[in-house]
Structure 1
Amino acid sequence: MRRFVFVLGSTLALLTGCANLDARRDLPLLSSVPTENRPVVRPVRSVSSFSESLVCMDRMFRDARVPPTLIASKQIPDASGKVPVAAKEMIVTALSQLSRTSGAFRYVDYEIDLVKQDTVQNLTTLLLNNNQIQLQRPALYVSGAISFFDQSVASRSGEVGTSASRLETGYSRNRSASLVGLELHLGEFRSRTLIPGIDSANEVVIGTGNEGLDVAGRIGRYGVQFNVGRDYAQGTGAAVRTLVELGLIEVLGKWARVPYWQCLSLDQAHPEFQRQMRDWFDEQKPEESLALVQRALVAEGYLQPPVATGMSPVLKTALARFQVDRGITPSGDMNFETWERALRNYVSFDDKGLLVRVGWGRPGLGQTDMAKPANAEAPALPELPGQPSGVDGKPVEPAVTTAAAPLTRQVDVRIENVLRGTSQFEVGEQVFLSATLSHAGFLYCFLQDATGTVVRVLPNNQHRSVMVPARQAVRMPDWMSPNPGFIIEPSDPGAEAFVCLASDVELTPKLPEPLRVAPFTPIQGIQTPDQLVTLFKQAGEVAVGTVSWRVVPRTSVQVKR
């Protein structure tokens, strides 16, 4: 016993004062810190139930020719003090999503905060005082607040237990639901008045729950105790983002007088859509999920059959391209976010209002709930060679399938300042155009005037890069920019045309010498858009979009006194 005390005392003395700790002995542990502090999952885009509805509203604004409008927003306060979120920044993000192709709204970013001064605010104040910057006055502004947060509006709890001489058990279960509300209004900035009837008041329920099990017992003279529990808590941040996006769709749809409710009735806006998709994803084996995504990528034109099974460099590249076009973090890996975006168009409602998969069935996968609803509008996944699909889980006989040609990318070229009817301009009247790609790619645009002269408009000295993201309008000229760099102004009567060509790869080095001249310089030997298309197709596969208009002499207006 004395020896044990002596050894213990010596050890404590050594640890406390007789010797210094050497950090080098912990080198294996310390060297792992730079990697251990990294997250263990890849980052994902912040999405809500109405992300796809924002894209739908963007297309609706563009089809309705909603003119570019400057808009601002007040701070969105939280009257309850229990929802600490940056609601104003969520409004800015949603407005950006609403204007990707339509250009309907441009946010005026000017905020005065006497307490939290930042570099942009200080520089803005300095330039304003020296008349070196001019702020544009917005036409509209968003006002509102998180009006209430009712905590634990409804709750359920229960406990039960047993007791004996050598064993005690206990079980508890608690559920509660809170309610958060958001009010949004739209006002006219010129008069600082709120527009009557342009408002939104929505609420969302946030749930929490937990359950636990406690067991305690005695074995001889020793006691044993353990407990297990699990709980969940839905976040207020995601709830407020959903309310912000829903509110903006409602107020801006009312202001623009467009049928915004059509975008809110999408399957993807259903509250259970994401959860149901996650359940289906978890039910599948990795190779089954990958096979379904491959079929969807073929349908979208990112892959060409025949497709090899399993992950390959070709598939990884196709996944990355698809992720970029859909606003997903481009990793090239197969994850739930990519799987959900690829298969969301193959989901519909059955006659009972339940979400069902359309055309997912394949013999041997053991899926039996593939009933195609009678009112389904969702398309069925395409069949690949050796992978026939079934309906109602019934196997189908292997059919002789031919590799369908992949969908080519689409180039949507529009004249933005013509509302309806025949496109016709007078001499000297400016023309505003835009081009949008269905897939990210390299874009080239040319103008043929009434004299037969062809010039390259894009790329140019201001926009040297020809790489264009998917579903984002390229305006030519950019009428929302204070310095567009050029204008398109017809000078001679006659027919004019504008042609845009898009490709997966950079085609400039492969083009003939006449097409590699400086922008806005006449191209020798080219007089029609068809000649341009022919030369580009010799360099590689391209998609083409054209638009034409007529130029008439300017009509003179006489004023008689």
Structure 2
Amino acid sequence: MKHRHQELSVAPGKWTRLTASLLGVVFLIAGCSTPMDARKDAPFQSYAHMADRPTQRPMRSLSSFSDSLMCMDRLFRDAQIPTTLITSKQIPDFSGRVPVATKDMIVTAISQMSRLSNAFRYVDFEVDIARQDTVQNLTTLLLNSNQIQLQRPALYVSGAVSFVDQNVINNRFDVGTSASRLETGYSQNRNATIIGMELHLGDFRTRTLIPGLDSANEVIVGTGGQGLDLAGRISDYGWQFNVGRDYTQGSGAAMRTLIELAMIELAGKWARVPYWQCLTLDQTHPGFQRQLRDWYDEGSTNVHQALVKKSLTSSGYLNAQTRDLPITHPTVRSALAKYQADQGMVVTGELNFATYERALRHYVTLGEDGQFIRVGWLPDSTQPPVPTVHDGQVTAAPLGAPLGADPDPLRLDVQVENLVADKSVFEQGTQIFLSATVSRSAHLYCFMEQSQGGLMRLLPNPINSSSQVSAQQAVRIPDWMVPNPGFVLDAGMPGEESVACFATDSDLMTKLPDSLQGPGLRPVVGMTGMSSVREAFRQAAGTQGFAEQSIRWRVMPRRAPAR
């Protein structure tokens, strides 16, 4: 028996009549039907709120120089640079190709360099009417009525995006084949754009740019892509297929690196501190985060958890009793949240790449061959053993150290913030400004011993009742940045006064003697000197210990006014 293959064919005239009939039905439905009822779409629309939410958690904007800014902050603190008021001009981009908030990036960089040192304070005053907002309008009104005063800044930042040279180099490759029923094509392209920025530091009093205090840097951003095209025909039918991969390095992140580098150079030169030490960190290498991401992708979830918990243990966020708990345990999540808050990250309490990168960044260094190596990481099935080289920057116990290794001790830094050369002698009645900073999230208690022997607890107090403080955040005593600080600290009777602060990992208030649990800013009864307070903390802390620092100054009699 023979089978005959039959094909369905339609004459051209019939195709025309069929198309006309279909179009007629479409127009009939569009013209004669009733309007659509939006209420019937309510179930569909109810998903809009969910669909409008982002699927990824926001992340803190970190650049290659984020660690360098923190390094500069420590340099300013160690050099005891006095607080300097600074402002900036608008930083224009005459090319129009880099639409970013350059001025705000400058403000952020200045703020990051002043978290502990309080080296700079930005004067926020806008003269451009088009940019003025409610705060600026209120400021203008109060200035005109002499109700507020603005301090004159000492310095200002000036500059511009000097040039944007697009597609300085361009590499393109195309190849293809063509046949009667198959066509193929492959393309690849790469190009690079150079962005230049020049910033200067000026003396606000004379409106002159300070010679030598300038920064001119360039950065390269690139784009690239590759694509594959396939097209062919099977009998009377055609098909087409294409796939491509592309990347574009944005100008926003590039501008942030230029601005942060420029501000490090300008501030370091002006303050005469060795700023180059903060620019030679391995974390400033452009491939640093990319290498950590590769290791993160290569490792398993168990490896990530073990390494990060090791790092948290080394830095004191976890201890011997909690380091073996699962990553989802509330205690570990709380430790992760504290660490993220102390590092200036978006707090999630979850282990993600951002937390992984911050926790392990000090355990990576450049080897002699210029390649990144892991320092003290635990070897496992997915990671080959690496040399345990010390790079001179790691202060915590290495990640590969035994479980019983001592964690990074809690550190406390108490400073006198008065803008005077000699901070050990004050005239009677002089207001005194202090600050206290802890190396990691902790509980802080500060006491003052007056020249006549009286004791008083400064922190916590009725205005600031919580003893919990964040890491690397200078706690001001009193808080001179607010209009109503709640109390002032004046040099009392002639003699010697002192302030001692104690930092602990857990809240010890309920374990202290009753005399120390009373309201703050009132005389402490039943204690004889700061030594008795120190002994009370020693007994309450037990084996966990505590950090302590005290400062002293002499109070001189008030000088008679000159006639």
**d(CA) in 2 for partners of 1:248 and 1:229?**
40
Deviations along 1:483-519, one digit per CA (max 9) or x if unpaired, are 654123142324x321112344555455544224443
Deviation at 1:211, TM superposition (A): 1.1
**d(CA) in 2 for partners of 1:551 and 1:380?**
37
Greater CA deviation, 542-551 or 521-530? 542-551
**d(CA) in 2 for partners of 1:271 and 1:453?**
56
**Residue 314 of structure 1 pairs with residue 331 of structure 2:** yes
**Residue 514 of structure 1 pairs with residue 494 of structure 2:** no
Deviations along 1:497-543, one digit per CA (max 9) or x if unpaired, are 21112344555455544224443321101122232234345555663
Deviations along 1:7-44, one digit per CA (max 9) or x if unpaired, are 99667644653233233443442111101111110000
- In the TM superposition, 1:321-470 aligns within 5 A as 321-363=338-380, 365-368=381-384, 370-373=386-389, 378=394, 382=398, 403-417=404-418, 423-425=424-426, 427=428, 430-460=431-461, 462-470=463-471
- In the TM superposition, 1:95-494 aligns within 5 A as 95-305=110-320, 306-363=323-380, 365-368=381-384, 370-373=386-389, 378=394, 382=398, 403-417=404-418, 423-425=424-426, 427=428, 430-460=431-461, 462-478=463-479, 485-494=487-496
Change beyond 3 A, Cα 1:251–1:515: same
Change beyond 3 A, Cα 1:168–1:331: same
Deviations along 1:312-346, one digit per CA (max 9) or x if unpaired, are 22221111111001011000111110000000010
Change beyond 3 A, Cα 1:112–1:41: same
**d(CA) in 1 for partners of 2:373 and 2:498?**
46
C-alpha contact 1:416 1:434 (8 A) present in aligned 2: yes
Q: Size of the alignment, in residue pairs?
A: 543
**d(CA) in 2 for partners of 1:13 and 1:50?**
65
What is the RMSD computed on CA atoms of the aligned residues?
Answer: 3.0
C-alpha contact 2:84 2:121 (8 A) present in aligned 1: yes
Deviation at 1:104, TM superposition (A): 0.5
Greater CA deviation, 266-275 or 471-480? 471-480
Matching residue's letter, 2:473: Q
SS of structure 2 residue aligned to 1:198: strand
Q: 1:64 aligns with which of 57, 75, 79?
A: 79
Q: Which has the larger radius of gyration?
A: 2
Deviation at 1:408, TM superposition (A): 4.2
Identical positions, percent: 51
Greater CA deviation, 541-550 or 99-108? 541-550
Change beyond 3 A, Cα 1:376–1:451: closer
Matching residue's letter, 1:548: I
TM-score, scaled to structure 1 = 0.89
**d(CA) in 1 for partners of 2:65 and 2:495?**
47
**d(CA) in 1 for partners of 2:345 and 2:548?**
27
Deviation at 1:124, TM superposition (A): 1.1
Deviation at 1:212, TM superposition (A): 0.8
Structure 1, unpaired ranges of 5+: 390-400
Greater CA deviation, 501-510 or 81-90? 501-510
C-alpha contact 1:501 1:542 (8 A) present in aligned 2: no
Deviation at 1:349, TM superposition (A): 1.1
Change beyond 3 A, Cα 1:133–1:41: same
Matching residue's letter, 1:177: A
Change beyond 3 A, Cα 1:469–1:380: closer
Matching residue's letter, 2:551: S
Matching residue's letter, 1:432: F
SS of structure 1 residue aligned to 2:58: coil
SS of structure 2 residue aligned to 1:435: strand
Matching residue's letter, 1:312: H
Deviations along 1:36-72, one digit per CA (max 9) or x if unpaired, are 1111100000111101100000000010010011111
Matching residue's letter, 1:292: L
Deviations along 1:409-439, one digit per CA (max 9) or x if unpaired, are 2221123459899945565555432210112
C-alpha contact 1:346 1:381 (8 A) present in aligned 2: no
Change beyond 3 A, Cα 1:525–1:429: same
Change beyond 3 A, Cα 1:11–1:236: closer
Change beyond 3 A, Cα 1:267–1:134: same
Deviation at 1:451, TM superposition (A): 2.1
C-alpha contact 1:414 1:547 (8 A) present in aligned 2: no
SS of structure 2 residue aligned to 1:88: helix
Q: Which residue of 1 aligns with 2:101?
A: 86
Q: Which residue of 2 aligns with 1:544?
A: 547
Matching residue's letter, 2:386: M
SS of structure 2 residue aligned to 1:44: coil
C-alpha contact 2:376 2:389 (8 A) present in aligned 1: no
Greater CA deviation, 432-441 or 159-168? 432-441
C-alpha contact 2:197 2:218 (8 A) present in aligned 1: yes
Q: Which residue of 1 aligns with 2:7?
A: none
SS of structure 1 residue aligned to 2:129: coil
**d(CA) in 1 for partners of 2:107 and 2:423?**
36
TM-score, scaled to structure 2 = 0.88
Matching residue's letter, 1:178: T
Deviation at 1:367, TM superposition (A): 1.6
Deviation at 1:300, TM superposition (A): 0.9
Change beyond 3 A, Cα 1:4–1:175: closer
Greater CA deviation, 160-169 or 439-448? 439-448
Q: Which residue of 2 aligns with 1:51?
A: 66
Matching residue's letter, 2:383: Q
C-alpha contact 1:360 1:381 (8 A) present in aligned 2: no
Greater CA deviation, 307-316 or 269-278? 307-316
**d(CA) in 1 for partners of 2:187 and 2:397?**
46
Change beyond 3 A, Cα 1:240–1:370: same
**d(CA) in 1 for partners of 2:225 and 2:73?**
41
Q: Which residue of 2 aligns with 1:502?
A: 503
Deviation at 1:309, TM superposition (A): 4.4
Deviation at 1:149, TM superposition (A): 0.6
SS of structure 1 residue aligned to 2:548: strand
Change beyond 3 A, Cα 1:376–1:416: closer
Deviation at 1:246, TM superposition (A): 0.3
**Residue 19 of structure 1 pairs with residue 16 of structure 2:** no
**d(CA) in 2 for partners of 1:108 and 1:204?**
29
SS of structure 1 residue aligned to 2:130: coil
Matching residue's letter, 1:268: Q
C-alpha contact 1:204 1:239 (8 A) present in aligned 2: yes
Change beyond 3 A, Cα 1:13–1:531: farther
Matching residue's letter, 1:367: Q
- In the TM superposition, 1:6-45 aligns within 5 A as 13-14=28-29, 16-45=31-60
SS of structure 1 residue aligned to 2:351: coil
Greater CA deviation, 108-117 or 350-359? 108-117
Structure 2, unpaired ranges of 5+: 1-13
Q: Which residue of 2 aligns with 1:395?
A: none
